[in-house]
Structure 1
Amino acid sequence: MEKVRLGIVGLGNIGRYHADYLLQGRVRRCELVAVCSRGKAAERYPGLKRFTEPEALFRSGEVDAVLIATPHYQHVTLGIAALAAGLHILVEKPIAAHKADAERLIAAAQQRPRQVFAAMFQLRTEPRYQKLRRLITSGELGEIVRVNWINTDWFRPELYFATGGWRATWKGEGGGVLINQCLHNLDMLQWLCGMPARVRGFCQFGRYHDIEVEDNVTAYLEWSNRATGVFLGSTGEAPGTNRLEIAGTRGKAVLEDNRLRFIRNEADMIEFSRTAGSPFAKPEVWNVEIPFTDATLPHAIIVQNFVNAILDGEPLIAPGPEGIHSVELANAVVFSALLDRTLQLPMDGAAWEAKLQELIANSKVRKQVVEVEPTDFSASFRR
């Protein structure tokens, strides 16, 4: 195989975005040949093969791989069907609406190890996060002791939730701000710091919008090394804040306002505390500004890596199975809030699935969908 013939399933905002840069030739050795949508969106692409049913695309023989960009609950059923048809799959976030479903998709992929399963977590390509991760993995930051991420600049007006019947519903999304907007940040949180051992969530449901799911969240996290963290997310706060602060024994890293600062201790704070000769002594610090440039088309970088993995065996930037971690964090925070108690991780995915089915069964939402013209939403990608 000299190039990958790719199909896109789902032509909502993100599906169209992927199609547009692929048709511009921004991914080498990849040809977008087909799209699948049950609406009129496919008419935008008269030069491509168009399908209305995903299974027909999977069986067509026209594609080697598919990018799945449908509403959340369809990711698992479509992913499993595409794998069964012998296709490589790249799944938009989240890989599933809940942990139990994610486990089903991962199990299906493990049965077909020669097929590539990747996830669309493009923040992993951003130099700001790569440099921050290097600070941690190199030991420069020392052992992590505290993490705070204020992630409240995901403002969405009421109209946003009316543009799709599936949006902000238990049945359509499986949650709100955590499973949708903040999922990339939750992926970053675990990619940088690892998965916490305990989670306590405090959620407000429909605090700012006429929706049934969470739109304002505060989560308390604890890691096995006794590090603690707080994560805040909201779609109702304006102007909002995006500030990530990670404190280690060797200093503190702060990512905010397109700047990455490292306040570096000259000595490890624990060792300094044990040996200091003055009751008010503190380690001397260096203030370091770490430069970085923004990634160009980070989504295209993930697709290029996916193509290279298929053709060359290149290691994936975002392997599909790793997508379960952000799903689990999103689920656990909401489940914890509903149970009003701390949850140990790994969480019981089946228990949350049962609770989610109960929420769906008791839902009284009757949404009136509003048609709007497609808009450029790419500014919301970089967080």
Structure 2
Amino acid sequence: MNEVRIGIIGVGNMGTSHAKNIIAGKVPGAKLTALCDSDPKRLEAFSEQKHFSDAQELIGSGEIDAVIIATPHYPHTTLGIAALEAGLHTLVEKPISVHKADCERLIAAHQNKNLVFAAMFNQRTDPRYVKLRELITSGQLGRINRINWIITDWFRTAAYYASGGWRATWGGEGGGVLLNQCPHQLDLMQWLFGMPTEVRSYCQIGRFHDIEVEDDVTTYLKYENGATGVFITTTGEAPGTNRLEVAAEQGKVVIEGEGIQWTRNEKQTTEFSNETKGGFDKPPVWDIKIPTSGFGEQHIGIMKNFVDAILNGAELIAPAAEGIHSVELANAMLYSSFTDSTLKLPLDGAAYEAHLKKLIAESTHKKKTVETGPADLSGSFSN
């Protein structure tokens, strides 16, 4: 094989963007041969590809070697399983599933199959986070003591939430800001720092919008080594902030905007504290600015890596099996808030699935939808 025939299921904002990038030749070795969407109007712009209205027909058509699933959240599981069982290499948009139990079902479908199975965690291509991970894994930062991520620049309007009946509902999306906008940051949290051992979260339902899911979240995290973390997010705050601060033995790292600011202790914090004779002394520091260029290849980078893995056996940037961790974090945050308790991880996936089904069954929220203007293709189908 020297070319991968790709099909896309779900031709919304993100699916359209993926299609245009492949057609434009931005993903070497990839050829877009088919698309599927229940709305035929979304397919009209792609006259040279085969069109399908039924995803199962596309999966079994023989027209593709690989599939990108860019539908709303719940079908990620069922379509992902169907694609893998049909022998197709599969790239799933985030989140890979709505809840942990479905993640486990999807991941199980990939077991013992010689297929490439990836997730669209495009923020893993951002050089700021790649460099931070290098600083952590190499031991240059020493022990991590505290993590604080304020990610409140996900501002969304009432018109945004009214643009689709599936948006911001338990039955359509399975959650709000945690399941839609923040899978990227939750994935990076576990990719960089590992999974916490305890979660205590406060999720406000419809604080800023007329929706039945969370649009404002504050969470406290505890890690095995004693480190603590705070994760704050909302879609109701403008202009908002995106600031990641990491306090470690070898100083403090801040990512806010381009580049990385590392205030590096000349001597590790605990070592200095134990050796100094002064009660108010502080370790001398170096102010280090680590420049980074741009924000990486993002979605195109993940697709290029996906195709390279199929054709040449390249190591995946974002294996889909790792997608369970960000979903578990989102589920745990919601479940902690609903049960007004501190949860120990790993999360009981079956218990959370039952809770989510109860929320869906008991929902009385009346969703209002309106026509909106042209989609911003820089966003995600699920965003």
TM range (shorter): over 0.9
Classify 1:379/1:162 alpha carbon distance in 2 versus 1 (closer, same or farther; 3 Å).
Answer: closer
Report the secondary structure of 2:179's partner residue.
coil
Secondary structure of 2:264's aligned partner: strand
> RMSD of the TM alignment (CA)?
1.2
Aligned with 2:180: secondary structure? coil
In structure 1, the residue matched to 2:110 is 109
Cα distance in structure 2, aligned partners of 1:380 and 1:268:
42
Displacement of 1:108 in angstroms is: 0.6
The CA deviation string for residues 350-369 of structure 1, in whole angstroms up to 9 with x for no partner, is 00000000000010122232
- Structure 1 residue 60 corresponds to structure 2 residue 61: yes
Q: Are positions 1:45 and 2:46 aligned together?
A: yes
Deviation of the 1:326 alpha carbon? 0.4
Counterpart in the other structure of 1:359: 359
* SS in structure 2 of the partner of residue 164 of structure 1: coil
Q: Which moved more, 1:286-295 or 1:362-371?
A: 362-371
Deviation at 1:379, TM superposition (A): 6.6
C-alpha deviation, 1:377, in angstroms: 4.6
Deviations 1:170-219 (A, max 9, x none): 00111100011011001011111111110001010000000000000000
Deviation at 1:139, TM superposition (A): 1.2
Q: CA deviation at 1:136?
A: 0.9
> What amino acid maps onto 1:242 in structure 2?
N
Give deviations 1:48-77, integer Å, cap 9, x for gaps: 110000110011100000000001000000
Is 1:73 aligned to 2:74, yes or no? Answer: yes
- Mapped partners of 1:11, 1:279: distance in 2: 63
Residue of structure 1 in register with 2:23 after alignment:
23
Q: Which amino acid aligns with 2:111?
A: Q
Distance (whole Å) between structure 1 residues aligned to residue 254 and residue 97 of structure 2 = 31
1:271 alignment partner in structure 2: 271
Q: Which amino acid aligns with 1:81?
A: A
CA distance in 1, matches of 2:281, 2:54: 68
How far 1:308 sits from its partner (Å)? 0.9
- Aligned AA (2:290): I
C-alpha distance in 1 between matches for 2:196 and 2:342: 12
For residues 285-364 of structure 1, the aligned pairs below 5 Å read 285-364=285-364
Tell me the CA shift for residue 290 of structure 1: 0.5
Q: Which runs of 5+ in 2 are unaligned?
A: none
Cα displacement (A) at 1:82: 0.6
Instruction: Measure how far apart 1:16 and its partner are.
Output: 0.8
C-alpha distance in structure 1 between counterparts of 2:14 and 2:287, whole Å: 39
**Aligned residues of 2:13 and 2:379 also touching (Cα < 8 A):** no
Separation (CA, whole Å) in 1 of partners of 2:351 and 2:151: 28
Query: How many residues are aligned here?
Result: 380
1:97 aligns with 2:86: no
Aligned residue number for residue 124 of structure 2: 124
Structure 2 partner of 1:86: 87
- Percent identity of the aligned residues? 58
Aligned residue for 1:109, secondary structure, equals: coil
Partner of 2:133: helix, strand, or coil? helix
CA distance in structure 2 between the partners assigned to 1:255 and 1:50 by the alignment: 43
CA contact (8 A) 1:245 1:255 kept: yes
Matches of 2:379 and 2:349, distance apart in 1: 33
Q: Distance in 1 between matches of 2:249 and 2:149?
A: 18
Give the superposition deviation at 1:257: 2.4
Q: Tell me, what secondary structure is at the counterpart of 2:110? A: helix
